[in-house]
């Protein structure tokens, strides 16, 4: 290949990379429906846990495993249904949306694995039940990583602010660990960093391609 041909190829590659970056920044993110779903379910579970731990619920702590298990099942089923609703939405193949999907899938799986590790620590390793109170600390930290990563790849600086709030929530969880009030505070934080941003994200979605 001649030197001129190589220069044209390099220029073409650079132009392609620039177009991909521009695509990732301009295409609206489509994950809002998932954050609204999971945020709402988790907020309900956290509020229920606060009611249980403060003696205001009609059932005891032994029922919490069913509450959280039910939330998990509803979340996964709901995600499968919502995934189908993305068909026909422009921008699903953009860098930003592909990154958002990959990062949040990995983040959600990481939280799930940590929950399994905590359960194993309690029922196999005989750890104290208080270790369950570390789950939201870890979850908020992972939320923050997901928001910063997605925001950086999609060129959405607003996500940096949400990610920072997630890190603040993680610190507060550490400061108030083993205190029931933390679950009420977590309920508010979850709504703040998932439900509200997710709803705003859904409003910005483009109309389906007809």
Average pLDDT value for residue range 114-135: 95
Q: How far apart are the two ends of the chain, measured CA to CA in Å?
A: 45
Per-residue pLDDT tens over the stretch 17-43: 555 555 545 567 778 899 999 999 999
Average pLDDT value for residue range 65-85: 92
pLDDT for 15 beyond 80? no
Per-residue pLDDT tens over the stretch 77-115: 999 998 887 776 666 667 777 888 889 999 999 999 999
In whole angstroms, give the CA distance from residue 127 to residue 140: 22
Contact between 163 and 148 under an 8 Å Cβ cutoff? The reply is yes
Looking at residue 188, what is its pLDDT? Answer: 98
Provide the pLDDT confidence category of residue 209 given band limits of 50, 70 and 90: very low
Question: Does the model's pTM come out above 0.85?
Answer: no
| 155 burial type by CB count under 10 A (0-12 exposed, 13-18 middle, 19+ buried) | middle
Average pLDDT value for residue range 37-58: 96
pLDDT for 210 beyond 60? no
Per-residue pLDDT tens over the stretch 164-203: 999 999 999 999 999 999 999 999 999 999 999 999 988 8
Per-residue pLDDT tens over the stretch 141-156: 999 999 999 888 878 8
pLDDT for 75 beyond 70? yes
Contact between 70 and 42 under an 8 Å Cβ cutoff? The reply is no
* Residue 80 CB neighbours (<10 A): 9
Looking at residue 156, what is its pLDDT? Answer: 85
In whole angstroms, give the CA distance from residue 198 to residue 204: 10
């Amino acid at each position: 290949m001649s030197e001129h041909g190589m220069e044209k190829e390099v220029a073409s590659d650079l132009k392609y990379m620039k177009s991909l970056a521009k695509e990732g920044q301009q295409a609206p993110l489509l994950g809002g429906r998932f954050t609204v779903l999971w945020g709402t379910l988790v907020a309900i579970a956290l509020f229920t846990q606060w009611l249980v731990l403060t003696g205001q619920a009609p059932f005891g702590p032994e029922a919490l495993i069913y509450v959280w298990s039910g939330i998990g099942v509803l979340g996964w089923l709901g995600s499968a249904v919502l995934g189908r609703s993305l068909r026909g939405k422009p921008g699903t193949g953009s860098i930003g949306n592909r990154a958002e999907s990959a990062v949040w899938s990995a983040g959600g799986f990481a939280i799930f694995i940590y929950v399994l590790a905590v359960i194993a620590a309690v029922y196999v390793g005989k750890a104290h039940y208080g270790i369950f109170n570390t789950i939201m600390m870890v979850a908020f930290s992972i939320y923050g990583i997901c928001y910063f990563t997605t925001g950086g790849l999609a060129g959405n600086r607003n996500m940096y602010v949400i990610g920072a709030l997630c890190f603040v929530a993680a610190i507060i969880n550490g400061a108030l660990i083993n205190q029931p009030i933390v679950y009420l505070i977590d309920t508010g934080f979850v709504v703040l960093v998932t439900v509200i941003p997710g709803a705003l994200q859904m409003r910005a979605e483009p109309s389906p391609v007809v």
